[in-house]
Amino acid sequence: MTFSTKPSRNTLLALALLTVLLPAHAAWAQSEDASLSEPVAEAAIEAEATQSDETIQARIENIFAELEPLRGVTVYVGGGVVILRGEVANEMAAQQAQRLASRLAGVVTVTDEMSRTLAVADNVRPVIERLRTQSVNFIKALPLLGLALLVLTAFVLLGNFIADRQFLWRKIAPNPFLADLMAQAMRVVILLLGIILALNLLGAAAVITTILGGAGVIGLAIGFAVRDTVENYISSVMLSLRQPFRAKDHVIINDIEGIVVRLTSRATILMTLDGNHMRIPNAAVFKGIILNYSTNPERRFEFELGVDADDDPVAAMQAGLDAVSSLDFILQEPEPDALINTVGDSNIVLTFYAWIDQRQTNFAKARSLAIRAAMRALQAQGFTLPEPIYRLRFDSAVNTALFSAVDAKSTDATPLAGRAGKNEPPATRVERGDAVLDVTPDKHLEQKVDAEIQSDPGNDLLDKDVPHE
């Protein structure tokens, strides 16, 4: 196998590139190392001015001659250093002279040796001149200002006209709250367009950016200040969209029970079972726990009864269930149920469950009559409903004193019993009334809620035609 010893063209090109780049790389590395090892010096000011001192002095003097407040300033330039002498009216004029002199090419620094006269005439005259000039300019700009105001007024009227077309917004958004929100947003957008057009007519387009920037900062500050209000407003929007309950629903919101009257843009209005109005902020409603009794008409109640520890709890459960099931208003599907809840110190606690239809039966009255029926059934079948038993222990001295007191009073115990019997009032028998046994729903609170809804039907974000959550 033979190998060619003649170098190829690519090899020669690579060697040539390495020959050129290696020295350059070495020089660059050395310069970099040197720059890193040596401290960095500050940029030196050129000793030679780009212009001669006489040229700089003449240029500054010509500028000051054109400005009335600086005509009394004398200029000396040497080696690029400008020295300002003479008299000026105030500090503002002195600062202006230094600023103008320092802007010229070739100036190294400016030394202020000017004196401030602070004369009344010198300071008042420029102010009067500026006021006169501004007044003349304002008078000249009056037609343009009038046109800008006319354009702005036209846009305001246009925004109000479009926002007041409620039928249009109700078609776009059936929800009244969203319709009003969109109308107000359109009003603001049209107003902003009018302001931008008016500023453009006045030649103040640059002010628009400043206004928008300031509005952003102010809006952020206001947003933090009224965070709770904004949160409540957004919660109102979400509740109006989700419709978590209907008017006249029986609900519990954050442990507050009542009948829903209406949902407004700020609060949810409930009528408590006592007939009082309760306003709950919508932010609390949106984040809170809502228990709705009206969504499902069937509702279960429960109650507890205790029997003696010596009684058979299963037989007691069956007796109570038979009594509860015999009531007309108790639903048979699902069936009533019972269980042993706990064993106490002197009794066995039984828990009974039963279902009713809230559309036809009052919940509280049904539960009350079911308790009475179960209690009577247990008593009729010989079950004891024991009272709590307490055991007292006394020391010997207390026992002796008690026995002595009993012996001393034993002689007149009978007269006392007789007198006690005479002092007791005669027992009064309460006849059973139909009103007590009537378990139909109470319509009084429902009528009050209906009257409240009819008093202001338009101010309600709850809509029965919108899908229920």
Q: What is the mean pLDDT of residues 94-115?
A: 89
Note the Cα 55 to chain centre separation in Å: 68
Residue type (1 letter), 86: G
Domains of the chain: which residue ranges?
53-118, 125-225, 242-280+289-295+443-469, 298-380
CB-based contact 293:261 (threshold 8 Å): no
User: Could you give phi then psi for residue 365, rounded to 5 degrees?
Assistant: -65, -40
Predicted local distance difference test score (pLDDT) of residue 27: 41
Polymer length in residues for the chain:
469
pTM value is 0.57
Q: What is the mean pLDDT of residues 308-318?
A: 92
- Reduced to 3 DSSP states, what percent helix, strand and coil does the chain have, rounded to the nearest 5? 55, 15, 30
The two tokens of residue 332 are: 């048979």
Residue 210: is its pLDDT beyond 90? no
379-399 pLDDT tens trace: 999 998 877 777 777 676 666
- What SS3 class is residue 270? strand
Residues 346, 67: Cα–Cα separation, whole Å: 109
Residues 360, 79: Cα–Cα separation, whole Å: 108
Percent of the chain topping pLDDT 70: 79
Between 1.10.510.10, 2.30.30.60, 2.60.40.10, 1.10.357.10, what CATH number should domain 242-280+289-295+443-469 receive?
2.30.30.60
- What SS3 class is residue 260? strand
User: Could you give phi then psi for residue 202, rounded to 5 degrees?
Assistant: -85, 0
Predicted local distance difference test score (pLDDT) of residue 301: 96
Q: Are strands 267-271 and 277-281 parallel, antiparallel or unpaired?
A: antiparallel
When the pLDDT of each residue in the chain is averaged and rounded to a whole number, the result is: 79
Q: Which residues of 82-119 are buried (b: 16+ CB within 10 A; e: fewer)?
A: bbbebbbbeeebbebbbebbeebebbeebeeebeeeee
- For 396-416, the DSSP string reads HHHHHHHHHHHHHHGGGHHHH
Q: Which residues of 262-294 are buried (b: 16+ CB within 10 A; e: fewer)?
A: bbbbebbbbbeeeeeebebbbbebbebeeebeb
- The better pLDDT of the pair 290, 39 is held by 290
Q: What is the mean pLDDT of residues 209-234?
A: 79
Residues 160, 166: Cα–Cα separation, whole Å: 11
What confidence category does residue 407 fall into, taking pLDDT thresholds of 50, 70 and 90? low
- What SS3 class is residue 233? helix
Q: For 54-63, 220-229, 301-310, 424-433, which range has the lowest pLDDT when averaged over its residues? A: 424-433
Looking at CATH, the fold of the domain delimited by 298-380 is given as Alpha-Beta Plaits (3.30.70)
The CATH class that applies to domain 53-118 reads alpha beta
Q: What is the mean pLDDT of residues 145-154?
A: 91
Q: Which residues on neighbouring strands pair with residue 259, listed in sequence order?
A: 250, 271
- The better pLDDT of the pair 329, 128 is held by 329
